[in-house]
Amino acid sequence: MPKKRRRKLDSQMEKDISLAKKQVELITAIINDIVDDEIRAEYSQAFNIVKNAYVSIAALYDLEGYNDSSVSALREFQISVEDFKNEYET
């Protein structure tokens, strides 16, 4: 029987992922509150990059745990959130 490989977990990474989820939910709610349909669609489309980055982090951490790839993915997510906030002033 093959030996299962254990994932290395990190409590700080889990907190960061939880915070990332809350950021995505908050910004999504802000975008959904925009009255103008065209502007809401533009913001929503631009924010999809950030959403996809979050989904990627969560999936990577669930599959592989704490490693260089998950740390890098989290860093990329944080950069994409800041870029979105700077560009769209949320």
* Domain span at 33: 11-88
Query: Which of these, 25, 29, 31, 18, lies nearest to 61 by C-alpha position?
Result: 18
Could you tell me if residue 72 is inside a domain?
A: yes
The Cα–Cα gap between 90 and 75 comes to 20
The residue-averaged pLDDT of 3-22 equals 87
Could you tell me if residue 69 is inside a domain?
A: yes
Q: In this predicted model, what pLDDT tens digit does every residue of 33-86 receive, in sequence order? A: 999 999 999 999 999 999 999 999 999 999 999 999 999 999 999 999 999 999
Could you tell me if residue 44 is inside a domain?
A: yes
- Angle of helix 11-32 relative to helix 37-64, nearest 10 degrees? 160
- Please state the domain count of the chain: 1
